[in-house]
Every structure is written in structure tokens, then in C-alpha cells.
Structure 1
């Protein structure tokens, strides 16, 4: 277990370590966790963090009290709108998908539904370009996308995007079962 600090530095800030990361360092960390998952899991449990794995990614979770849980649900509602917007942009938006901000902005001219959904994203921001910059920055900060090509501004969706998709799917299933 040589990478406990590097892994902690990423995951303790709410980040993800994805199998298909563009960063060689993160891919290397993913492989290290994969090779010795139980040891890493036990180590982080000892300091109050739960190392969890998903479909090609790792992250930390913690037991939440009701106040923190309510706040988390509120933040999740924002991500539901963001994912809905991205799936409206391109229904294949998922792990491995590549895009440019300019692709999204071009689609605004011909897609009324996309314009409508963008209106609900970042209501404090006026222009669609600023909204897309903010959305991409949020996706990048969470580790859901990484800059693949700096020259043309191409981003790649990481495996960590599965996390938010699966969380939304769970909410949808629970909501329909109660109805």
C-alpha cells in the first residue's frame, strides 16, 4: 500500500479515481486499489472513510446524519438537472464519450428542448456559453470529465460518471415503486 496519501488527497475532496482516466497517475492509482482493495479499504476505514468501488471507479463515502443527508439530496437534485441536460444534448453521453463545449453550443441553435433545459441550469448565469463553462467546470471538479485535448478543448467522460447515473437510477426506481 504505497499510495495511501495520493489516493486520500483525491478521494477525501469528493473526487473519484476512474479506470479510464486520461491521467496516467490516476489510472495507476486505480490499478493499485484494484490489486489490493481490501487492504486499502481496511486502512481508510480506520480513519473514518469508507472506500467504495463502482463500475470502473473508486470513491469515499461516510455515514451521514440527517442534516448532512438532506443537504446531499439537495445537491443531488442539481445533478439530476445537469445529467438530464447532458442526455438531452446526446443520449449516449456516458463513460468514454468525448465532446467539446462548442458541440453543445452549436446544438442550441436547433434544439428547443436543450435551450429550455439550459434555462434551469445555473439561473444566476445569463449566457449559454457561461452556463456551459460552469457545467464543464463542475463535471471536471467532480472527476466526471477530464480534458483530453487542450488544443481543441475535447473532454472525455470518465467511468466515475456511472456513479451519478446509478444514483439517479436508484431514485427513479424508488420513486416509481412508491407511486
Structure 2
């Protein structure tokens, strides 16, 4: 278990370590966790973090109070809107998909639904370009995308994106209104 510090630095900030990362270092960390998962899991559990794995990625989780859980639900609602926007941009948006901000901005000119969904993203920002900068920044900070090519600003969606997709798929919306006859 030589990489506990490096793994902790990434995962403790809410990041992910993905199998298909562009970074050779992250791919190496993924392989290290994969090889000694039980040992890493026990080590991090001892300091209050639960190391969990998904479909090609690892992350930390913790038990949370009701207040923390309420905040998390609000953040999740924001991510639902972001993922809905990205899937409207391209239904293939997911692990392994590559894109550029310019691709999204170009599609605004021909896709009214995309424009409408963008209005609800980051309502404090005025232009679509500012909103896309913020969206890509959020995706990058969380480890859902990585810069693949600096020259043309191409981003690649990592396996960690499965986490947010699976979380959304797990949600069940219950209609609390009853129809009156």
C-alpha cells in the first residue's frame, strides 16, 4: 500500500480515480487499488472514509447527518439538470465520449431544446459560454472529464461518469398528488 497519500488527496476532495483516466498516474493508482482493494479499504475505514468501487472507478463515501443529506439532495438536483443537458447535447455522452466546448456552443444555434435547458443551468451566469466554462469546470473538478488534448481543448468523459448516471437511475420519483374524481 504505497499510494495511500496520493489516493487520499484525490478521493478526500470528492474526486474519483477512473480506470480509463488520461493521466498515467491515475491509471496507476486505479491499478494499485484494484490489486490491494481490501487493504486500502481497511486502511481508509480506520480514518473514517469508506472506499467504494463502481463500474471502472473508485471514490470515498461517508455516513452523513440529515442536514448533510439535505444539502446532498440539492446538489444532486443540480447534477440531474446538468446530465439532462449533456444527454440532450448528445445521447452518447458517457464514459469514453470526447467533446469540445465549441461543439456544445455550435449546437446552440440549431437546437432550441438545448438552449432552453441551458437557461436553467447556473442561473447567475449570463452567457452560454460562461455556463459551459462552469459546467466543464465542475465536471473536471469532480473527475467526470479530463482534458485529453490541450491544443483543441478536447475533453474525455471518464468511467467516474457512471457514478452520477447510476445515482440518477436509482432515484424514484413518487407522485404525491392524488387525482380527484
With the shorter chain as reference, the TM-score category is over 0.9
In the other structure, the counterpart of 1:116 is 116
SS of the equivalent of 2:104 reads: helix
What 5-or-longer segments of structure 1 have no aligned partner?
none
**Residues of 1 paired with 2:108 and 2:86: CA distance?**
12
Aligned residues: 177
The CA RMSD measured in Å over matched residues stands at: 1.2
TM-score, length-scaled by structure 1: 0.97
Describe the superposition over 1:95-115 as per-residue Cα deviations: whole angstroms up to 9, x where unpaired.
000000000000000000000
TM-score, length-scaled by structure 2: 0.96
5 Å-filtered alignment, 1:6-45, equals: 6-45=6-45
5 Å-filtered alignment, 1:1-179, equals: 1-171=1-171, 174-175=172-173
Deviation at 1:176, TM superposition (A): 5.6
> Which structure has greater helix proportion?
1
SS of the equivalent of 2:99 reads: strand
Q: Structure 1 residues 163 and 178 mapped into 2: Cα distance closer, same or farther (>3 Å)?
A: farther
What 5-or-longer segments of structure 2 have no aligned partner?
none
**Residues of 2 paired with 1:12 and 1:141: CA distance?**
13
**Which portions of structure 1, spanning 4 or more consecutive aligned residues, are displaced by more than 4 angstroms?**
176-179
Deviation at 1:70, TM superposition (A): 0.4
**Residues of 2 paired with 1:34 and 1:21: CA distance?**
14
SS of the equivalent of 1:51 reads: strand
**Residues of 2 paired with 1:177 and 1:28: CA distance?**
46
Deviation at 1:177, TM superposition (A): 9.4
